[in-house]
Amino acid sequence: MILAVVDDLMIGLRIEEAAKAIGRTAEAVSSGDEARQRLRSSAVEGLVVDLGMPRLDLDNLVREARQTGAWLIAFYPHVNVELRRAGERAGVERVYPRSRFLRDLPNLLLERLEKRR
């Protein structure tokens, strides 16, 4: 399962639809705490994270994802380059501007999944 850590319902639905289109399931959660709980209790293969979420403890989320073997990709508003830098510093594998992320979503997920094989 792919876990979408987003607080925007429409983006969560787009991630779920893109995952379904490539034969995977996805579920949206609205906080980093909820994502960490799911990492501990479910078979999560990857996370998609909105770096613009308020109160997101990205360092702990990345640490827990690595401990479970889940991959991470993230997106940010293109006007906030500091969020991109924060994602890269925290160790997020791929960080995209939101517009590119949404435009290329199915391909980005496929690329990540194929890299794991």
Domains and CATH numbers, the chain: 2-116 (3.40.50.2300)
Residue 88 tokens read as 């890269």
Which residues have C-beta within 8 Å of that of residue 17, sequence separation ≥ 6? none
Q: Which of 11, 59, 57 is nearest to 34 (CA)?
A: 57
Q: Which of 116, 106, 103 is nearest to 17 (CA)?
A: 106
The band of 116, judged by pLDDT with boundaries at 50, 70 and 90, is low
Whether the Cβ atoms of residue 95 and residue 75 lie closer than 8 Å to each other: yes
Does pLDDT of 113 surpass 90? no
Q: Taking the CA atoms of 101, 2, 25 and 55 in sequence, report the sign of the dihedral they define.
A: negative
Secondary structure of residue 92 in the 3-state scheme:
coil
Could you report the per-residue pLDDT of 33-75, keeping only the tens digit for each? 999 999 998 899 999 999 999 999 999 999 999 999 999 999 9
12-39 mean pLDDT: 96
